[in-house]
Structure 1
Amino acid sequence: MSAFEKYPNLFSPLDLGFTQLKNRALMGSMHTGLEELEDGFERMAPYFAERARGGVGMIITGGISPNLEGGMGAKLSTREEAAQHRLITEAVHEADPDVKICMQILHMGPLARNKGAVAPSAVRSRISPNTPHELDEAGIEKQIADMVNCAVRAQEAGYDGIEMIGSAGYLVSTFLVEKTNQRTDQWGGSYENRMRFPLELMRRIREAVGQEFILVFRIAAMDMLQGGMSWDEVVTLAKKLEAVGVNIISTHFTWHEAAVPTIATMVPRAAFAGVTGRLRKELSIPTITSNRINMPDVAEAVLVKGDADIVSMARPMLADAEFMRKTAEGREDEINTCIACNQACLDHTFGGHQEVSCLVNPRACHETKLNYVKSENPKNIAIIGAGPAGLAYADVASKRGHSVSIYDASSEIGGQFNLAKQIPGKEEFYETIRYFNRIIEKRKIPLYLNISVDKEMLLAKGYDEVIVATGITPRVPDIEGITHEKAVSYIDVINGAVPVGKKVAIMGAGGIGFDVAEKIMHAGKSAALDIDIFAKEWGIDFENHPRGGVTGVEPVVEAADREVTLLQRKSTPVGRGLGKTTGWTHRLALARRGVKMINGVEYLKIDDDGLHLRINDQYEILDVDTVIICAGQTPKRELFDQLVKEGASAQLVGGAYEAMELDAKRAINQASYLAAAI
């Protein structure tokens, strides 16, 4: 069966009247951090062109501000700025003339990172340090005029259209909700008045750009906030946007300040597509759905069900630029799947002025800096360790023509990913292991499992290079009673090798400590695999769609019958070091399961009475049955040291190089750069 028979909806064209999309796959908007750099446009051009060659039907750029008060840093308001953007549009259209590229206009409004932030009312967002200035009538007219001008400049720059973001708590969306629009003039009060801003904005843009220019409006189909838009208001706005000339409605499902995860790996695949489907029935123009759609079968299922006309896959196009080409060629098992970890993409975006990349694909947004060219001097390379670093090195080195062999003492590849995949909410890690297994199979890479290699064997085989990716050893704290029967390793707990008691202390509140707490406190099916359970755990009402989509009542969370205390030596708030866009979800999820979190702890000893501590100069004993040790890691470098001593050519990568809080992002990035250079 051909891909076009297997995915007939995904590969079907979409007629917009004056133009058509070649398929239903959209690379959704993602800010890259390149927009503000001096050489940013020179780098964004090959980044977007590579995705165009990869087979996507339409691309939407990261957000571009229409003026200084819009707050993005990247701005389009002049002909000189439009000339920079032409580098992008020409590169995309040269890569594939059938691919459409639209520029997202993003006015941050009250979320702008400057003191010139503006909004319909002077209402500060809880995630912004500044209270915005309330716009007067002239100020509103200026913002509309500037956004119209931005759209005209985008057209001059060669874009096929624009997307206006009218969601997420940015300027346009703040006009729509009473909480942020407290005006009493024609721009506030009744919903008819609150809609005036987006409707007048899109009407004037259509008038300025003519009829043969794609206009996409991103609407908050669910604000995920109490007091957000009602369902009737969402439908009314969408219909009126259609009437003023919008070609496509793109659905969004959150404000940034909402306490509901929508993009993390704990969110089920296509969890929100049904909301788009309801809205689609009310409109005669196409709709876009998004969020956690990361494989072609998921996208096809959404389209078959009638939940959307176009499927937006932003992060999946970071993870694999050839997503659609591989699908078309029947190579879905070779897709490097987005695992929604956010560590190198959204955490970088919202962490402040970091270039975006991808944990599983470090080339993303670095196409001019990291390339895998064929080696003129192929080498025979041994890779010791089949964790993320070793596997990434094997992938890149073999792609470049080197002969690689992989050795690992375990019975399966994956290393620490084999622990991560067992944590409820992190099931996507199976996909990365599947990808590497397929690469090993396709390239016929020799793989030797259940084998502990030594220097003698490696030296005897005469490898040109040995890559030591042996990983880490859990650190054992030097405290009295650390060998007591109550004390167990996090590895044994995750693997189910040891029993865990009813009363538990976890020593260490880094990412592993949080994962262990989630594992032992979880009960029932993982919410990441069941939309109904996910909705109950986060207070979402998909069926009745109250204002904002949230119930406003305490979420229903099933927890194991345990008392768990998560302990941290640092005096900073527990979990502060977790990811910017996902850390809060883990903290909140554990708190709802009754996990107690304590910082500023000094560990004293473990004995029959439990775990002895000093907290804020107070001596305490935690009466626990089990003490799970998550106290960091140390690199396993013995083999490397032995090889170097013998004069062999060897390199350390991954945890064996640096073991501070296991970091697959750093490990894969390091391995990829080293393998690209050998």
Structure 2
Amino acid sequence: MAAVRSSSKAGRKLFPKMFEPLDLGPAGVLKNRVLMGSMHSGLEKGSIMGGQVDLTNMGEFFAERARGGVGLIVTGGVAPNRAGWVSPFAAKLNNTSEMESHKIVTSKVHDAAPDAKIAMQILHSGRYGYHPLAVAPSAVKSPIGWFTPHALSSKEVHKTIADYAKCASLSKEAGYDGVEIMGSEGYLINQFLVERTNFRTDEWGGSYENRMRLPVEIVKAVREACGPDFIIIYRLSMLDLVEGGSNWEEIVTLAQAIENAGATIINTGIGWHEARVPTIVTSVPRAAFSWVTEKMMSSVDIPLCTTNRINMPHVAEKILGDGQADMVSMARPFLADSQFVNKAEEGLVEEINTCIACNQACLDHTFKGITASCLVNPRACHETDIEIEPVAPGRKERIAVVGAGPAGLAFSTTAAERGHEVTVFDMADEIGGQFNMAKQVPGKEEFHETIRYFGAMLNKWGVKVALGKKVGVDELKDFDKVIIATGVSPRTPPIPGIDHPKVLSYIDVLRHKVPVGKNVAVIGAGGIGFDVSEFLTFHGEMKTKADDVSVDEYLEEWGVDKKNETRSGMLEPKAHTAARNVTLLQRKHGKVGAGLGKTSGWVHRAQLKKADVSMVGGASYDRIDDEGLHITITDKKDKEKKTTQVLDVDNVIICAGQEPLRELEEPLKAAGVKVWRIGGAEEAGELDAKKAIDMGTRLASKIEDAEQGEVLTMDIGTGAKVIEFFRDIRNKKAGINK
């Protein structure tokens, strides 16, 4: 459905609560109820220019979101001292020189939108710090950390409080309208609050009154240092989801104390980073935790903000309209679309590029030390790198794109937006390519939104679309340029019996809906193998809308107490009944699916474990016949030790990689046509929509100047090398850090 443009702010009638101003007393008025939540982006580190940290890229990133209509922006975490670093040489603010660097951020935001406000998040990582200087209330290593932290002395705790106040004061001097004090997600303040990590017996440990003293004293100190007109947001962990976390009575007690200490807004935090309950991945239903904030609404008088998996205006409006919160926090949706609020205000909902919560370019990048971005919007955090400028007069070209998958759609819409005349061809009867298979996997319902968005953009920018048509040289030779985005074909491994009737490809299963038996072997444990396994074990009705995914079923499945009456909000997970018996195999030894995303791979493994999927590594495939799949398993430790067995299965599903489809390239070149490859046609490997969309967008941003065949990809920078250096230190110290 094409969006209808309006100059009458039609969205204000659709989403009245979302666009209602919020009075913060002495701290001023927010123009709407939308908070751009904090994200680790890597931009906070900046670059070194003449001995000074240059935060120009960070400033441009937030300025674009300010122009996009956000009421209140919160930056990524900035440490109040060196021990608080999230990673080596991460962002820190505790001296005048560092403060001067931040002035460029605040000035760019306020120049872009004078009615927008921006707060800097103060985050002390505590035992989550990926560096040897990490500190904590007690010397207890995190299960996801690298180093055993130093236990802060009482004197060092007081110094830490002073560092928070100094950091906040410097941020105000730099031009920030406020700060957010990060007290959730298992970082330092959260570590002081719970018996899980606080074994102290002094005035900072023992009773809850003592354990909550740190956050209360920090808020008091920040208020005293910054005055009454400064916004103080406190990020409160309302649901820890780890053993030994807080109970509801303690959480309410802390919220009231934080209010009395001088906080302006309380933001909701859900789950520690080490929690084994997914809270932000795509399989988590929309607004899955707004009920937590709602439970707090009657306990405090200052505004409450709710968060997690709020990615469309109607979701935000329902939360606010139902009285579940005073504000909504959306973080990654502003990576996906910087103009989210403006589009909602204009009623252009179909034009919103929806966050699909895949984590692949945001959180996964962060944990690798790479600047964050967004799978569906590669310009996120790269605004100065990818500029979408109108094509210069006289340089408009007729461009054909062969393939309407993610790469082809990204190129087509971007090139057409710039002014080129684009025609996209695809043999299928619908756009979307591989996303049309991915969207069928339980938990990936959000993928429907990306296809919807690209459809709206094709229409908006006047791209000609020719579906159900296989094109050749004759149809393409008159175009100025041709982009091959034909994707991949499944690789057929050389296994004896590979042509047996039992054998199916993942395309047979997901696209062609070929019937699959009760007992199944899946060959290949990459992302596709996991998707197919989840698809085959799912026992329920497939959803075509993310709004239809049940919050209650999700909470039961993962053992979350919706009443929040148990400590940490945890219950026994609900047993899962699988629709089929599946064995997932890979040739490599080690953890099955080790190549999956760091922040989402564990969720997929947990899902398959609950479905009783047998995951087998070190397997070689001997043959397939009427008996089933014959395999040999090599012992991980003793390579000479091998066992053979026959898997008595009805079907063998092949998910063993792909080959690029490039059959048009050479004939086109022979005909004198200028040709480029993007997406899977350029690099097959494991299907990678992130890379495909990035390639398409980057090439389209400069296609008139690109050398024939030029491939443009993201520069991952040096952060990953720094992380690896400190990982090596961790490994050398492993003997004393077990």
Check whether the contact 1:29–1:63 (CA below 8 A) recurs between aligned residues. Answer: yes
Check whether the contact 2:408–2:696 (CA below 8 A) recurs between aligned residues. Answer: yes
Q: Following the alignment from structure 1 to structure 2, what is the Cα–Cα distance between the partners of residues 537 and 280?
A: 27
Q: Following the alignment from structure 2 to structure 1, what is the Cα–Cα distance between the partners of residues 180 and 490?
A: 48
The residue number in structure 2 matching 1:543 is 563
Check whether the contact 1:536–1:557 (CA below 8 A) recurs between aligned residues. Answer: no
Q: Following the alignment from structure 1 to structure 2, what is the Cα–Cα distance between the partners of residues 544 and 242?
A: 21
The residue number in structure 1 matching 2:490 is 474
Does 2:13 correspond to 1:5? yes
Check whether the contact 1:11–1:24 (CA below 8 A) recurs between aligned residues. Answer: yes
Once the two structures are superposed, what CA deviation does each residue of 1:247-301 show, in whole Å capped at 9, x if it has no partner?
Answer: 1000011100000000000000000001101112211000111110000000000
Q: Alpha-carbon deviation of 1:196?
A: 0.6
Once the two structures are superposed, what CA deviation does each residue of 1:466-518 show, in whole Å capped at 9, x if it has no partner?
Answer: 11111100001111100101100111111352111111100000000000000
RMSD: 1.1
Q: Following the alignment from structure 1 to structure 2, what is the Cα–Cα distance between the partners of residues 241 and 106?
A: 17
Does 2:694 correspond to 1:674? no
Check whether the contact 1:25–1:310 (CA below 8 A) recurs between aligned residues. Answer: yes
Q: Alpha-carbon deviation of 1:623?
A: 1.2
The residue number in structure 2 matching 1:576 is 594
SS at match of 1:130: coil
Q: Alpha-carbon deviation of 1:545?
A: 3.1
Q: Alpha-carbon deviation of 1:613?
A: 1.1
The residue number in structure 2 matching 1:250 is 267
Q: Alpha-carbon deviation of 1:641?
A: 1.9
Superposition TM-score, scaled by structure 1 size:
0.98
Q: Could you say if the C-alpha distance between residues 357 and 544 of structure 1 is closer, same or farther in structure 2, counting changes exceeding 3 Å? A: closer
SS at match of 2:266: strand
Once the two structures are superposed, what CA deviation does each residue of 1:307-331 show, in whole Å capped at 9, x if it has no partner?
Answer: 1111111100010000011111111
The residue number in structure 2 matching 1:447 is 465
Q: Which runs of no fewer than 5 residues in structure 1 stay unpaired?
A: none
Does 2:66 correspond to 1:41? no
The residue number in structure 2 matching 1:295 is 312
One-letter code of the match for 2:131? N
Q: Following the alignment from structure 1 to structure 2, what is the Cα–Cα distance between the partners of residues 658 and 506?
A: 23
Does 2:71 correspond to 1:66? no
One-letter code of the match for 2:500? H
Residue number among 282, 288, 294 corresponding to 1:265 in the alignment: 282
Aligned-pair identity (%): 53
The residue number in structure 1 matching 2:621 is 603
Once the two structures are superposed, what CA deviation does each residue of 1:335-362 show, in whole Å capped at 9, x if it has no partner?
Answer: 0110000100011112x31000000100
Q: Alpha-carbon deviation of 1:544?
A: 4.0
The residue number in structure 2 matching 1:80 is 97
One-letter code of the match for 2:406? P
The residue number in structure 1 matching 2:637 is none
The residue number in structure 1 matching 2:51 is none
Check whether the contact 2:12–2:346 (CA below 8 A) recurs between aligned residues. Answer: no
The residue number in structure 1 matching 2:725 is none
The residue number in structure 2 matching 1:28 is 37
One-letter code of the match for 1:537? E
Matches within 5 A, 1:307-346: 307-346=324-363
Does 2:223 correspond to 1:206? yes
SS at match of 2:630: strand
SS at match of 2:294: helix
Q: Following the alignment from structure 1 to structure 2, what is the Cα–Cα distance between the partners of residues 207 and 34?
A: 30
Residue number among 403, 428, 436 corresponding to 1:410 in the alignment: 428
Residue number among 657, 668, 671 corresponding to 1:643 in the alignment: 668
Does 2:530 correspond to 1:530? no
Check whether the contact 1:116–1:133 (CA below 8 A) recurs between aligned residues. Answer: yes
Once the two structures are superposed, what CA deviation does each residue of 1:530-549 show, in whole Å capped at 9, x if it has no partner?
Answer: 01110111000112431111
The residue number in structure 2 matching 1:111 is 128
SS at match of 1:638: coil
Once the two structures are superposed, what CA deviation does each residue of 1:525-566 show, in whole Å capped at 9, x if it has no partner?
Answer: 469700111011100011243111111x2x114333421100
One-letter code of the match for 1:570? K
Check whether the contact 1:522–1:558 (CA below 8 A) recurs between aligned residues. Answer: no
The residue number in structure 2 matching 1:56 is 70
Check whether the contact 2:59–2:109 (CA below 8 A) recurs between aligned residues. Answer: yes
Residue number among 297, 300, 303 corresponding to 1:280 in the alignment: 297
One-letter code of the match for 2:649? V
Does 2:156 correspond to 1:139? yes
Check whether the contact 1:52–1:96 (CA below 8 A) recurs between aligned residues. Answer: yes
Q: Following the alignment from structure 1 to structure 2, what is the Cα–Cα distance between the partners of residues 447 and 197?
A: 60
Q: Could you say if the C-alpha distance between residues 378 and 603 of structure 1 is closer, same or farther in structure 2, counting changes exceeding 3 Å? A: same
Matches within 5 A, 1:437-516: 437-459=455-477, 462-495=478-511, 497-516=513-532
Check whether the contact 2:416–2:462 (CA below 8 A) recurs between aligned residues. Answer: no
Q: Alpha-carbon deviation of 1:424?
A: 0.4
Q: Following the alignment from structure 1 to structure 2, what is the Cα–Cα distance between the partners of residues 496 and 644?
A: 33
One-letter code of the match for 2:701? A
Q: Following the alignment from structure 1 to structure 2, what is the Cα–Cα distance between the partners of residues 219 and 545?
A: 17
Decide which moves more: 34-43 or 425-434: 34-43
Residue number among 391, 409, 414 corresponding to 2:409 in the alignment: 391
Check whether the contact 2:388–2:701 (CA below 8 A) recurs between aligned residues. Answer: yes
One-letter code of the match for 2:666? D
The residue number in structure 1 matching 2:683 is 658
SS at match of 1:61: strand
Does 2:202 correspond to 1:185? yes
Q: Following the alignment from structure 2 to structure 1, what is the Cα–Cα distance between the partners of residues 464 and 377?
A: 23
SS at match of 2:453: helix
Does 2:171 correspond to 1:159? no
Q: Following the alignment from structure 1 to structure 2, what is the Cα–Cα distance between the partners of residues 257 and 515?
A: 24
Q: Alpha-carbon deviation of 1:67?
A: 0.7
Q: Alpha-carbon deviation of 1:645?
A: 2.2
The residue number in structure 1 matching 2:720 is none
May I ask how many residue pairs the two structures share in their alignment? Answer: 673
Q: Following the alignment from structure 2 to structure 1, what is the Cα–Cα distance between the partners of residues 428 and 694?
A: 23
Residue number among 630, 633, 636 corresponding to 1:615 in the alignment: 633
Q: Following the alignment from structure 1 to structure 2, what is the Cα–Cα distance between the partners of residues 266 and 497?
A: 22
Check whether the contact 1:384–1:407 (CA below 8 A) recurs between aligned residues. Answer: yes
Check whether the contact 2:46–2:58 (CA below 8 A) recurs between aligned residues. Answer: no
Q: Following the alignment from structure 1 to structure 2, what is the Cα–Cα distance between the partners of residues 175 and 543?
A: 25
One-letter code of the match for 2:457? I
Once the two structures are superposed, what CA deviation does each residue of 1:560-619 show, in whole Å capped at 9, x if it has no partner?
Answer: 342110001112310110011100000011001100001111111100111111111222
Q: Following the alignment from structure 2 to structure 1, what is the Cα–Cα distance between the partners of residues 294 and 683?
A: 47
Superposition TM-score, scaled by structure 2 size:
0.90
Q: Following the alignment from structure 2 to structure 1, what is the Cα–Cα distance between the partners of residues 319 and 75?
A: 23
SS at match of 1:35: helix
SS at match of 1:104: strand
Q: Alpha-carbon deviation of 1:37?
A: 3.5
The residue number in structure 2 matching 1:628 is 653
Q: Alpha-carbon deviation of 1:378?
A: 0.6
Check whether the contact 1:268–1:531 (CA below 8 A) recurs between aligned residues. Answer: yes
Q: Following the alignment from structure 1 to structure 2, what is the Cα–Cα distance between the partners of residues 10 and 207?
A: 32
Q: Alpha-carbon deviation of 1:445?
A: 1.6
One-letter code of the match for 2:536? I
Q: Alpha-carbon deviation of 1:184?
A: 1.1
Q: Could you say if the C-alpha distance between residues 20 and 119 of structure 1 is closer, same or farther in structure 2, counting changes exceeding 3 Å? A: same
Q: Which runs of no fewer than 5 residues in structure 2 stay unpaired?
A: 1-8, 49-53, 635-641, 704-738
